[in-house]
Amino acid sequence: MASKNGNGRVDLAAATAKAAAAERVAGAIVVGFDVCKEQGAPLSQIQQIALIQAALLEFDGLEAQLSSLAVIEELLRGGFGPNASAA
């Protein structure tokens, strides 16, 4: 994954985290659909679509959020944290 901002490692980590989180959420949604069906209260197709849309909207901006958190962490480790010695 190429990065134009010089944070290739951060971008890759954020994308990997996003993909892993998406896989887990997708699995949880499928299990949720199955549980509803097994309990005699299956969701309609419209309800399933609404739930998936809500999950997708929650992911909007996740990669950017993870990238910004990683950048902040790197800045803190680089001497800008509360334990940094004064120059």
Question: Global pTM?
Answer: 0.58
- Supply the pLDDT for residue 22: 86
- Supply the pLDDT for residue 60: 75
**What percentage of the chain has pLDDT greater than the value 70?**
78
State pLDDT tens for residues 8-38.
776 787 778 888 888 998 999 999 999 999 9
Backbone angles phi, psi at 14, to 5 degrees: -65, -40
Burial class (CB in 10 A: 0-12, 13-18, 19+), 67: buried
Backbone angles phi, psi at 25, to 5 degrees: -65, -40
